[in-house]
Structure 1
Amino acid sequence: MSKLGKISLLFSGLSLTSMVIIRSMLGDWVPFCWVALGLSIFFLGLTLYWDRRFLKEFLTMKTTKEGMSMGVLIALMLALLIVVNYLGVKHYATWDFSTAHTNTLADQSIKLVKSLDSDLKVLFFYKKGVEGNEDNRRMFRELIKKYQDQNPRVLLEFVEANERPDLAKEYGVDKGSGVVFLDYKGRRNRIEKIDEQEFTSAMVKVTRTQNKNIYFTVGHGEKSLEDAKEGLGLNALKVMLENNRYTVKTLPLIQTTKVPDDADVVVVAGPIQGFQDFEITALEDYLKRGGSLFLAIESQNSAGLEKLVKKLGIELQNNYVVNVVETVLGKGVNQGPTSAPIFAPMNQITKGFGQNEVTLYRYPQALKHTPVEGMTVDELVKTAPNSVAFPTLSLKGDGPQGSYALVDEVTGKWQADGKEFRVIVAGDVDFMTNQMLYQNLNRDLVLNSVAALAKEENLISITAKEPQSTQLLLTETKFSVFLFAFIIPFPILLLGVSIGLWVKRRNA
């Protein structure tokens, strides 16, 4: 290569380098970039012109042809890898081999995300330097990837609050530990917990076009919806329902004498004063119209609702169910909350509950199924078989032992040609109060029950899946077979093959 050709090639490289540096520093294309690019092409052209003979001889050499052939082969291989990787990113499949399918979305989530007909914007707000942000972002990215696998309309964006103060102000972001907003067709919802349950519930809220009306009866000493300080109030339940885009209203039946037509669900929460006959009739008329009713009735205080419940095929036992525990002195009565670990496996409300989870109650009463034509009763929640029922709160003597139903679901038609109604009867009200609502599976049971009553099966709360361990149990005989058929022969076989290959190569 000639001296002028080398100098010209050097200037061409310097011009190209200066263009790249200026473009990177300014972050935009400026007119000088065209000048630098033009000079680079000009000097490269001079190099090719001055050393055309040298290049012709170089390209016709045997070694050059072989090298170019190898280069073309490498280029084709790289192109093939790029195409394979591109197709792998655009079209891929995943398999979940975990026993509990912990890496797979629930059916409700899959059904809901596939129904999206517009982009669902997911904005994750964070602040640099806040402890735990990187882990939260990684976990959230892995979660959203499962939804994006089902529908590419789920769009994820990470927003640094300090870099986008306008967007942070618009969404009302007030902290930097990781706040998520879902935006769908202008409807927004905020979540702060990174799990499938919260995200899918938030999706339901933003995709729902109309709120459901939940009426709570008042005037009979029911638990207060406005009482936020006392443990036995229902303010936490009201807030939870409103956060799930339900409209919570009160229903003074003694004044209106009729359940409003826009009532999606009517809740009777622990009344202590009797319902009048015309109020019971109003509830029955509501069921005849295909209504949904949630009755939470305390033991020894049915407030006149036992007649209505009996027509549904359920008899209130007016007892107190407690758990039996093993102590140093023998069996004893658990003075704390009564736990119920048995759930209806096929019912939409409870089929997602874990095997090792429980719901908690405060001295609940048992419910007995008494068959009534046209009514179907499903025992949603039951206590363990060693539970005991006492007639009074003194808890003395030997009560009958067994597994007691605490929450039942009734479906049917009040009249043969009428609409189908749905009723949930619970032998306790304390499990939905401020003190106990967020303990164990109580929240899920309440939300799932309201969703089922409101005919919103896609809002059924999703319980976190429990990782299950696989145990390998070997008898003495099986262990001996495993040891002498695999553990000992396999290393010896590998050693023999290795020695054989070494001897063969040595003598070759």
Structure 2
Amino acid sequence: MKNQLTHRILSWASIAFLLLFFPIYDSFNGAGVRWLISLTVLTTILASAALSYLGFKKGEKEINLLISAGLGIFSLAIYFLRIYLEDMTLQKAGTAPVWIDSLREFLLVFLVLSVLGSAFLGILREWERSSFENQSSLKGRKQSLVRDFFLGTGILLLILIVANYISVIRNHNFDLSSKGVYSFSAEAKKILKQIPEGGEVDVVAFYPRPLENAPSSDKSAALALRRIRPDLEILLGQLASIHPGFKVKFINADVELDELAEFGQVSNGNILLRYRKSGSIKGPYPEQKVSVKDKSELEDLERKLVQSFTNVTTKERKVYFTQSNGERYSQVFQNLPNEKLTRLTAGLSFLNFKVDGLGFQNNWPPKVPDDAEFLVIAGPTVPFGPEARLAILEFFKKKKGKLLITVEPKGGENFDWLLEGAGYAFVKATLSQIPSQPGLVVAKSFRKHAIEESLSKKDNGVVFPYGGYFEPKAPKDPQNKDLDSYILLETGGDSYLDVNSNGKQDANDDKKNVPIALILRSANQVGLPPVNSQDPNSPPSIPETKSEEEGRAVIFSGTSWITDQYLPYAANYELAGATATWMYQDISLPAIPPKKEEIETVSLTDGQKRAVWILGMFLFPGLIAGLGSIYVVRRRRVGQSDEK
């Protein structure tokens, strides 16, 4: 009797533990806890199988329970094999064999069938056991056994409900779309799992419900947003299964006004990512918005989310603005509202940068503070002295520091001492593009780069007023060229050199597409074409390296575009923020493929169309009529033979 009770407990426990294993295993990140859960489930299944085998030796046939245990162990083996293949894909990134994903999907089918088969056979065996005991027991004992069986079945159903609830909370589902539209790629999961210990990322999506209307909302825009929300709920719901630190919430900004107090000015069609460190109870928090207002924008949503996640979760870094050489951050411009950098510094603080000034109080020049990781030199009007130049070069090249530089064409500092190492020189000139607005250019000609990839408003261009440009210039000594350079942004073919600065293209004003933003790096990583490039005419892209292993600098040929007057226009704000965050970016967004569903079309020739028409009009109806006639004739013959 005691042996039968042990059999029954282990049998029910093995079924329950196997069903609960998969949602519970992914709920923990610690390796020790996961090993403990795995060993517990495996030990229970093996113990149940061992008792069944020993009972079989004694003549008690429990083949169903043995097969159930075997399928349970087989399902665990498949599960861990799929995890191993996923880790292999993440480690090898783009070099992983393409057959791995197909193999994981194939194994998933066997995993589901094995789990269901194991649970079904286990329950079937318990049913058989109860039925057999009922037949060989007294009436009272029979009632007790029936009650115990239904009680056990009820407990199992309760466990199934709990397992289903946990699965819903963890949002385990299967993406059957061809491009994985409703799930994150392996590369994205690898990045999104890297939430700092104890931190949380709030993902707040502002979208109306499918059947919800607001009088103040734009009807056409609201309809498009209502269509997007169900897809977003599926995709964003996956974040909780990637890491428990993600907290997803949906708010209708036109209706749920009481929920908007902590988010400031927001509108529907945006997704806000906000990072809260461990123990932080009061803002402001690092946050960034992602705009998705049309179904087509879902194709690049994964890449934008990963970029925003990286921006807000990066560790806090100290950024210094130099202010001793007449820069925009100095006291000289604090009384000029349009020339200040208040909006830029506020934006950097939301990207987890701690902003401070670098001037005489910090013994600058020539000493760069020891805790400086990032220097912003915004439009110096007074040239740097030899000591300051040497300190900046040492910070950039030897200490692998980061520089964001904007040249002031009206000032005396042209940074030729830095550009010489990259084979470029700054040219003072007036560039115009828009009639009657001399010196104003809307630059849209971006080169392929991680900074450009993260800009959602790049088609609007960058409003770039009162700037010069860069031109190639070989250094006097070839050994002085020790920096790699790459063009980030050009003016475009519509701009021209406005010699008279009158906003008109005169006879001697030539159209010129010139660089206005350069990327400089201290490592030899720039200018190489992609290894797997399919288009040999496409511009080379920069392979990503570890940001801590190289100095990075982005230099612009103008300063006014980042001032409070022009920063809100077009893609100016995005470009400034993306440039700052790229300084510490070690990921490559092109490695995350866009989720674009390709609809394959089939064109039929005239002969194929005729064949389809004949099949549909004559062959299939004739075949059905012929088979029906044969069936009717045979039935009649059978009936006549029975009568005789």
> TM-score normalised by the shorter chain: which range applies?
0.5 to 0.7
Distance across 1 between alignment mates of 2:247 and 2:591? 22
1:340 to 2:422 alignment = no
Q: C-alpha displacement at 1:119, in angstroms? A: 7.5
Counterpart of 2:394 in structure 1 is 285
Q: C-alpha displacement at 1:320, in angstroms? A: 2.7
Counterpart of 1:185 in structure 2 is 278
Q: C-alpha displacement at 1:367, in angstroms? A: 0.7
Once the two structures are superposed, the pairs formed by residues 388-427 of structure 1 within 5 Å of their partners are: 388-394=496-502, 396-412=506-522, 420-427=550-557
Q: Deviations over 1:364-417 (max 9, x none)?
A: 322123344322111111232453234452354433434311111112279xxx
Counterpart of 2:565 in structure 1 is 435
Q: Deviations over 1:188-219 (max 9, x none)?
A: 555665655775466446644x4111111113
Q: Which of 619, 629, 633 lines up with 1:497 in the alignment?
A: 619
Counterpart of 2:327 in structure 1 is 222
Contact 2:339/2:564 (CA < 8 Å) preserved in 1?
yes
Counterpart of 2:606 in structure 1 is 484
Counterpart of 1:383 in structure 2 is 491
Q: Which moved more, 1:122-131 or 1:302-311?
A: 122-131
Change (3 A) 1:173 1:384: closer
Contact 2:517/2:554 (CA < 8 Å) preserved in 1?
yes
Q: Deviations over 1:66-103 (max 9, x none)?
A: xxxxxxxxxxxxx9xx99xx89x746345454xxx986
Q: Which moved more, 1:241-250 or 1:390-399?
A: 390-399
Q: C-alpha displacement at 1:223, in angstroms? A: 2.2
Q: Which of 257, 264, 273 lines up with 2:382 in the alignment?
A: 273
Q: C-alpha displacement at 1:447, in angstroms? A: 2.0
Instruction: Name the one with the larger strand percent.
Output: 1
Counterpart of 2:535 in structure 1 is none
Q: State the AA in 2 paired with 1:92.
A: F
Counterpart of 1:50 in structure 2 is none
Counterpart of 1:154 in structure 2 is 246
Once the two structures are superposed, the pairs formed by residues 21-420 of structure 1 within 5 Å of their partners are: 90=172, 92-95=174-177, 97=179, 109-116=188-195, 120=200, 122=202, 124=204, 131=214, 135=226, 138=230, 140-148=232-240, 150-151=242-243, 154-156=246-248, 172=262, 182-183=275-276, 185-187=278-280, 196=301, 200=306, 203-204=309-310, 207-208=313-314, 210-224=315-329, 230-252=337-359, 256-257=364-365, 258-287=367-396, 288-303=398-413, 305-323=415-433, 337-345=440-448, 347-351=449-453, 356=459, 358-371=461-474, 372-394=480-502, 396-412=506-522, 420=550
Contact 2:289/2:308 (CA < 8 Å) preserved in 1?
no
Alpha-carbon RMSD: 5.0
Partner of 2:574: helix, strand, or coil? helix
Change (3 A) 1:298 1:174: closer
Change (3 A) 1:248 1:293: same
Distance across 2 between alignment mates of 1:379 and 1:466? 28
Q: C-alpha displacement at 1:140, in angstroms? A: 4.8
Distance across 1 between alignment mates of 2:176 and 2:266? 33
Contact 2:377/2:404 (CA < 8 Å) preserved in 1?
yes
Distance across 1 between alignment mates of 2:249 and 2:453? 34
Partner of 2:328: helix, strand, or coil? coil
Q: Deviations over 1:227-276 (max 9, x none)?
A: 69844432111111001110111112595222212111111112223333
Instruction: Name the one with the larger helix percent.
Output: 2
Counterpart of 2:20 in structure 1 is none
Change (3 A) 1:102 1:333: farther
Contact 2:187/2:592 (CA < 8 Å) preserved in 1?
no
Q: Deviations over 1:415-448 (max 9, x none)?
A: xxxx843222111122222233343433332222
Distance across 2 between alignment mates of 1:492 and 1:503? 16
Distance across 2 between alignment mates of 1:458 and 1:204? 9
Runs (5+) with no aligned partner, structure 1: 1-78, 326-331, 473-478
Q: C-alpha displacement at 1:494, in angstroms? A: 1.5
Q: Deviations over 1:96-117 (max 9, x none)?
A: 54xxx98676888544212246
Normalized against structure 1, the TM-score is what? Answer: 0.61
The share of aligned pairs that are identical, in percent, is 15
Change (3 A) 1:333 1:503: farther
Contact 1:407/1:424 (CA < 8 Å) preserved in 2?
yes
Distance across 1 between alignment mates of 2:523 and 2:572? 29
Change (3 A) 1:469 1:506: closer
Q: C-alpha displacement at 1:450, in angstroms? A: 1.4
Contact 1:184/1:206 (CA < 8 Å) preserved in 2?
no
Q: State the AA in 1 paired with 2:470.
A: L
Contact 2:431/2:496 (CA < 8 Å) preserved in 1?
yes
Contact 2:374/2:402 (CA < 8 Å) preserved in 1?
yes
Change (3 A) 1:404 1:311: same
Change (3 A) 1:297 1:104: farther
Normalized against structure 2, the TM-score is what? Answer: 0.50
Q: State the AA in 2 paired with 1:428.
A: G
Q: Deviations over 1:442-465 (max 9, x none)?
A: 333222221233x24459899997
Partner of 2:450: helix, strand, or coil? coil
